[in-house]
Amino acid sequence: MSESPYILEGEFTLWPGEIRTYNMNWPEFDAVSSGVSAAYVAGSTVGILTGSEVEAGNIHTMRTITIPADYGGNTVIVTSQVDVGTERFIKGIVIRVLQPGETP
């Protein structure tokens, strides 16, 4: 299976304690499969994703992210990895976690 280059999809701002579920759209494909999401801080995998993943057509609903209370000031990268035929594609989003008193 070959792997595509990494594509950055966008940037979001969240507060510590926030909970979000993101849907990654893959408009260049009719359908995707085998969706896997992961979260990283400073290049290391972090266990802040829960729940299950769903693929419907070309949408990958990623696992729910819960920003820990002590994550203020961190940048979290959440990736969506899907298969299309015999190829694997990866997109990611950047989540900037605000510190108390900081404005978006």
Q: Which pLDDT value is given to residue 44?
A: 97
Per domain, the residue ranges of the chain are: 2-97
Tokens of residue 24, six digits: 């990654």
Tell me the CATH class for 2-97. mainly beta
Cα(79)–Cα(4) distance, integer angstroms = 13
Q: Which pLDDT value is given to residue 103?
A: 84
Q: Which pLDDT value is given to residue 67?
A: 97
Tokens of residue 26, six digits: 């893959």
Q: How many residues does the chain have?
A: 104
Q: Which pLDDT value is given to residue 4?
A: 56
Strand ordering across the sheet containing 54-56: 23-25, 59-61, 54-56
Q: What is the pLDDT along the chain (104 residues), one digit of tens a residue?
A: 555 556 667 889 999 999 999 999 999 999 999 999 999 999 999 999 999 999 999 999 999 999 999 999 999 999 999 999 999 999 999 999 999 888 88
| Residue 45 vs residues 28, 35, 38, 69, 102: alpha-carbon distances, Å | 28, 17, 7, 18, 26
